[in-house]
Structure 1
Amino acid sequence: MHSFPEHLLKGHANFMDGRYAREKDRIRDLASAGQHPPTMIIACCDSRAAPEMIFDAGPGEMFVLRNVANLVPPYQPDGGQHGTSAAIEFAVKALEIENIVIMGHGRCGGIRAALSHTHTPLDDGDFIGKWMSMLGDLPAQLGQNALLTDSERQTAMERISIRNSIRNLRTFPYVAALEKEGRLAVHGAWFDISTGELWVMNGDGDFYRPDL
């Protein structure tokens, strides 16, 4: 049995002496009363794009789901095991979330794999390849534009993927119904790792940097 990572133990000790000590009452209230976050963030697993850090959020403020390349599959009640769909169901039906934000980011490895013409599976299962196939022929369509540089193509696909996930999210009947009633808002965002800038999506699907 391996020893628990020392840097994690030190991190927890810092948490107890710092944030927990400062927010102890709030955290204990959350433990007894339960969580009621107004916003769900669907983000990538990438360690450089943590939603809690980007939005400076405290305990109980956001319900966060992270998967490879922040993808949302279409609604498929087929009896399978769907982790992302289960989280969406819980957030919307049980927590009564008011906002869902699909947040992509720059230099996403999953998107890079989807765009690659020489993708080599990391393992025989090729779970990443199968997961990214959710994008269909969108990467191939983008790859046909020879005037785009690799970095331009990468950023474009990261943002197109966000729009595609929003489209898939709206195939969930209760999401579509609540959005139509004005009780749920769906948003898109893109985070630039290198600059820290946040770009948000407007109603036309364009990304812009909001004025603070």
Structure 2
Amino acid sequence: MQEFTDPALAKLFEGIQGFQQRFYRQEPDKMRGLVEYGQHPEVLLIACSDSRVDPALLTGAAPGELFVVRNVANLVPPYSLEGKYDGARSAIEYAVRDLKVKHIVVLGHAHCGGIKAFLSGFAGQPLPRDFIGGWVSIAMDACCNYVMKPLSGGEDSGGEEVRELDIGSLREHQHLVERAAIRGSLANLATYPWLKERIDAGELSLWGWWFDLETGDLWATDAANTTFLPVLD
């Protein structure tokens, strides 16, 4: 049997053993059903790759309950047929057109490194990386639309007044950009024609969630609103 001497890998192996005990030995019928009948998740959850915000751990979801897409800063690119190697778009298409999920949740979080990288590039100080800068630039339109100019009603996603903000203020209020990026991803999802058809038919709902790493609180909005509201006491 393969042995892992590195403590980090050994801990992961112990976790797999625990998973086997919990699901394959205690709930064998459930796991057998997932093999024989396939997966039928009702929720597509688009989350950040950040190790501190794991969708299954955060939600307590069991195998087969979530179809998960993770990337830097939980971003959704707008619909386009020009991309060749496009993991995010292909996963969204599979979830919507084949798995027929009923809900899509874009899950962002506080202290997001991807949004921090975006703000560095926005300030003219891009990180010396090959791919990150281009990817996080997806958040540019959302930042301009939802943060850099006032919203109708004069409130931001957390109930605070929105003003024209310079880059220094954006860095001090990174949570505004994180929430704006979530709303931008919700808007981009609506550019996928087959996804929009299911929304219009009442078969699919879109949600934006923002998780506060400092407090454990969750804030949520739907695609029709601009305000994030707390959902946990």
Normalising by structure 1, what TM-score? 0.89
Alpha-carbon distance in structure 1 between the residues aligned to 2:188 and 2:109: 19
Contact kept, 8 Å, 1:115 with 1:139, in 2: the verdict is no
Identity %: 40
Q: 2:179 aligned with 1:159, yes or no?
A: yes
Say which SS state the counterpart of residue 102 (structure 1) adopts. Answer: strand
Structure 1: runs of 5+ lacking an equivalent = none
Alpha-carbon distance in structure 1 between the residues aligned to 2:197 and 2:20: 42
**Structure 2 counterparts to residues 20-169 of structure 1, below 5 A:** 20-78=24-82, 80-116=84-120, 117=123, 118-122=125-129, 125=130, 127-136=131-140, 139=143, 142=148, 145-146=165-166, 148=169, 150-151=171-172, 153-169=173-189
Contact kept, 8 Å, 2:141 with 2:184, in 1: the verdict is no
Match of 2:206 in 1: 186
Structure 2: runs of 5+ lacking an equivalent = 149-162
State the shift of 1:211 in Å: 5.9
Match of 2:231 in 1: 210
Match of 1:196 in 2: 216
Alpha-carbon distance in structure 2 between the residues aligned to 1:149 and 1:131: 19
Deviates more, 1:9-18 or 1:179-188: 9-18
The alignment yields a C-alpha RMSD, in angstroms, of 2.3
Contact kept, 8 Å, 2:116 with 2:174, in 1: the verdict is yes
Contact kept, 8 Å, 1:99 with 1:186, in 2: the verdict is yes
Normalising by structure 2, what TM-score? 0.81
Deviates more, 1:73-82 or 1:134-143: 134-143
State the shift of 1:111 in Å: 0.2
Say which SS state the counterpart of residue 136 (structure 1) adopts. Answer: helix
Number of corresponding residues: 207
Deviates more, 1:135-144 or 1:69-78: 135-144
Runs of 4+ in 1 over 6 A off after TM superposition: none
Opposite residue 132 of structure 2, the aligned amino acid is I
Opposite residue 195 of structure 1, the aligned amino acid is T
Q: Give per-residue Cα distances to partners, 1:46-96, cap 9 Å, x unaligned.
A: 011111111111011110110110000011112522110000100011001
**1:211–1:191 Cα change, 3 Å:** closer
**1:149–1:120 Cα change, 3 Å:** closer
